[in-house]
């Protein structure tokens, strides 16, 4: 039995990419800026693996003898979206950015959507999800009209109160929107955003559901599945890549639940690849510029990391990375065009090595393919034997 476990700390970047100015992200550095803002991070386990050897992070000293290989990766794909980031981690480069709508969606999208659902929409503008439900939630509850909004990311989001529009109906709205949003309007994701509560205290629920574009090519997950290996998802990964490439998906409600379910699944045993996303860094803290809880979330993950590390056997591989940045110290509440950290541990190949700056997130999929002896996607460069 051989296993590769890829943990994606959603939104945890480590410094602006050379083209950050093209995305309005000059100065973004999620990990380093966050550490400075809170007076230092306490991440002893990540530090021992080599996180502090990648960049100067306050409170995270470089290890004299890092336990893992370490480096950082540039995103080759256009954009800074969770979907393109996960596609690239699994071996696909997205050369054309997904469309975004800084002025809301055009009539050619909204009109057929309204006609199909039999209701007019509210909003139709870029907004913070928590802000727009407070702004338009009362009108939505009075009229039943769904709240449609977007962000700097390529998303079409539909928010409805659970007492006004059932989950099944909200999900039906999203499927309709996904069918409309094709071609030049093919956004990365359509997202159901159910909420509950009363005006002044509305709260989004974990019954969110994402409807992604199908990847245009085979991912490493598809290759594993076709090779008779396990391709397991933990978290919202099927909402980003689609359910088709996975042999099994375990949905989660936040980081703590995700860590618990990942540990339980590793303990159960499998033969293949696990892709594990921790969403709270991005969804709860990065998008809300919440530095205090972002820092606590990282420290909580670090405190649980030994439970994962002790399960990594001689024939296993562990990688810890991210899909983009989301610096909570900048005025922006959106994703940031950043490098992502790379920590890779395999007891016979990946210990104490500086992997440098990788040109592409696909290097992760290329390395895993070489480790398992399966065909890769043809993108990226394996670092399995680099410097050995």
The region of weakest confidence among 171-175, 242-246, 327-331 is 242-246
Q: How far is CA 379 from CA 5, 94, 241, in A?
A: 20, 11, 17
As given in the structure block, the two tokens for residue 313 are: 């056997």
DSSP assignment string, 127-186: --HHHHHHHHHHHHHHH-PPEEEE-SSSEEEEEEETTTS-HHHHHHHHHHHHHHS-GGG-
Model confidence band, residue 6 (pLDDT cutoffs 50, 70, 90): very high
Domain with CATH 3.30.70.1250 in the chain: 107-212
CA gap 146, 161 in Å, rounded? 9
Domain with CATH 3.40.720.10 in the chain: 3-96+214-372
| Whether 272 contacts 4, CB under 8 Å | yes
Q: What is the pLDDT of residue 206?
A: 83
Q: What is the pLDDT of residue 214?
A: 87
| Whether 7 contacts 374, CB under 8 Å | no
Average pLDDT value over all residues in the chain = 95
Provide the H-helix boundaries in the chain: 30-37, 44-49, 82-89, 107-117, 129-143, 167-180, 220-226, 237-241, 255-268, 280, 291-309, 362-372
| Whether 93 contacts 77, CB under 8 Å | yes
Q: In this predicted model, what pLDDT tens digit does every residue of 312-333 receive, in sequence order?
A: 999 999 999 999 999 999 999 8
Which CATH topology does 3-96+214-372 take?
Alkaline Phosphatase, subunit A (3.40.720)
Is the predicted pLDDT of residue 71 greater than 60, yes or no? yes
Is the predicted pLDDT of residue 107 greater than 80, yes or no? yes
Closest CA to 291 of 66, 25, 33: 33
What is the phi-psi region of residue 355: left when phi exceeds 0, alpha when psi lies from -120 to 50, beta otherwise? Answer: alpha
CA gap 164, 145 in Å, rounded? 9
Kindly report the backbone phi and psi dihedral angles of residue 272, in degrees, each rounded to the nearest multiple of 5, phi listed first.
150, -140
Q: In this predicted model, what pLDDT tens digit does every residue of 34-64 receive, in sequence order?
A: 999 999 999 999 999 999 999 999 999 999 9
Model-level pTM greater than 0.85? Answer: yes
Half-sphere exposure of 3 (CA within 13 A, CB side): 22
Q: What is the pLDDT of residue 235?
A: 95
Model confidence band, residue 387 (pLDDT cutoffs 50, 70, 90): low
Q: What is the pLDDT of residue 128?
A: 86
Unique residue bearing structure tokens 């008779």: 228
The region of weakest confidence among 103-117, 238-252, 297-311 is 238-252
Q: For the chain, give me the number of helices (H) and strands (E)? A: 12, 14
Q: What is the pLDDT of residue 79?
A: 87
Which CATH architecture is the domain 107-212 placed in? 2-Layer Sandwich (3.30)
H or E element: which one contains 277?
Answer: strand 272-278
Percent of the chain having pLDDT more than 70? Answer: 99
Kindly report the backbone phi and psi dihedral angles of residue 340, in degrees, each rounded to the nearest multiple of 5, phi listed first.
-120, 145
Model confidence band, residue 385 (pLDDT cutoffs 50, 70, 90): confident
Model confidence band, residue 388 (pLDDT cutoffs 50, 70, 90): low
Residues 6+ apart with CB under 8 A from 1: 269, 270, 271, 315
Q: What is the pLDDT of residue 1?
A: 85
């Amino acid at each position: 039995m051989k296993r590769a476990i890829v943990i994606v700390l959603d939104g945890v970047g480590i410094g602006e990419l050379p083209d950050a100015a093209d995305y309005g992200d000059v100065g973004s550095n999620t990990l380093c800026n966050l550490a400075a803002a809170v007076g230092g991070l306490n991440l002893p386990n990540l530090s021992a693996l080599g996180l502090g050897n990648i960049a100067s992070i306050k409170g995270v000293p470089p290890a004299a003898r890092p336990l893992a290989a370490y480096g950082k990766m540039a995103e080759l794909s256009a954009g800074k979206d969770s979907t393109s980031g996960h596609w690239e981690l699994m071996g696909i480069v997205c050369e054309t950015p997904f469309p975004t709508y800084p002025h809301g969606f055009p009539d050619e999208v909204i009109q057929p959507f309204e006609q199909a659902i039999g209701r007019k929409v509210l909003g139709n503008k870029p907004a913070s999800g928590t802000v727009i439900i407070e702004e338009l939630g009362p009108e939505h509850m009075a009229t039943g009209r769904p709240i449609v909004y977007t962000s700097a990311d390529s998303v079409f989001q539909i928010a409805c109160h659970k007492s006004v529009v059932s989950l099944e109906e909200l999900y039906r709205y999203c499927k309709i929107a996904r069918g409309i949003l094709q071609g030049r309007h093919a956004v990365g994701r359509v997202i159901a955003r159910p909420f509950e509560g009363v005006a002044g205290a509305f709260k989004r629920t974990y019954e969110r559901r994402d409807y992604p574009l199908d990847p245009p090519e085979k991912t490493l997950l598809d290759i594993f599945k076709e090779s008779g290996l396990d391709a397991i998802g933990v978290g919202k990964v099927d909402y980003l890549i689609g359910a088709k490439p996975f042999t099994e998906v375990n949905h989660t409600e936040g980081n703590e639940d995700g860590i618990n379910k990942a540990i339980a699944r590793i303990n159960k045993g499998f033969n293949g690849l696990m892709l594990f996303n921790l969403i709270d860094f991005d969804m709860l803290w990065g998008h809300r510029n919440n530095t205090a809880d972002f820092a606590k979330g990282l420290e909580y993950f670090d405190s649980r990391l030994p439970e994962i590390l002790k399960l990594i056997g001689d024939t296993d591989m562990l990688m810890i990375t991210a899909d983009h940045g989301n610096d909570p110290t900048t005025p922006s509440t959106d994703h940031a065009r950043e490098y992502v950290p790379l920590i890779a541990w395999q007891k016979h190949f990946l210990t104490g090595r500086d992997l440098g700056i990788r040109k592409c997130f696909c290097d992760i999929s290329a390395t895993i393919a070489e480790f398992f002896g399966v065909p890769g996607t043809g993108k990226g460069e394996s670092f399995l034997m680099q410097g050995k």
